[in-house]
Structures are given as C-alpha cells and as structure tokens.
Amino acid sequence: MKITKAEVDAVALLARLELTPGETETFTGQMDAILAYVEKLNELDTSGIIPTSHAVPVENAFRDDAVRPSIGVESALANAPDRVEGFFRVPKVIE
C-alpha cells in the first residue's frame, strides 16, 4: 500500500472535504493505484537533474508598477453569497 486510510482522511481534512467511510475506502484504493503508477518514475536516476517546476522553458514574465483600474466594489461582490456594507460577510472568525 502506498497510502493509508488515515492519510486520505488527513488530506480530506486539509481540503475541507467530508468523506463517508465508504468514500474513504474507495478513494484510498484509487489513490493507491495512482501512486503505484507514478512510482515507476522513481526507477529513473534523477540525481544530477534540477527539479522541474514548470513544463515550459519560460522565465521572467513581468509587469511594470503602473496602476490599472480595479473592477469596483459592485463587481467584486457580485458573486458573494453574503455581504454587508461593501464587505464580504463570513461566519464569525475569532481573533
């Protein structure tokens, strides 16, 4: 086994997903199969190779520090499930 049910539960918690015991079971099996497949890559010797962070060989995309118009409060809040006085409203967060 590449992955345990406990690990799947931990990942689900980090992603804020609520899984039923049946789902945890199913996903553990599926993720285990995926990891076993990817494990093949470890057969290659990559010791002298710089880790690849991007698939395309592009570097240094910049913009200048010039202000562009914002979209406005109404557009910003248009999709908000809840709002109050120009703010998004969320359940109380205790500081």
Interface residue list for other proteins (CB under 8 A):
10, 13-14, 16, 53-56, 58-68, 70-73, 76-77, 82, 84-95
Residue 22 beta carbon to other proteins: minimum distance, rounded to whole angstroms: 24
Minimum CB distance to other proteins, residue 48 (Å): 17
88 Cβ contact list (under 8 Å, min separation 6): 77, 80, 82
Alpha-carbon gap, residue 36 to 34, rounded angstroms: 5
Nearest approach, Cβ of residue 31 and other proteins (Å): 15
Neighbouring CB atoms inside 10 A of 8's CB total 22
User: Which of 22, 74 has the CB closer to other proteins?
Assistant: 74
47 touches 67 (CB < 8 A): no
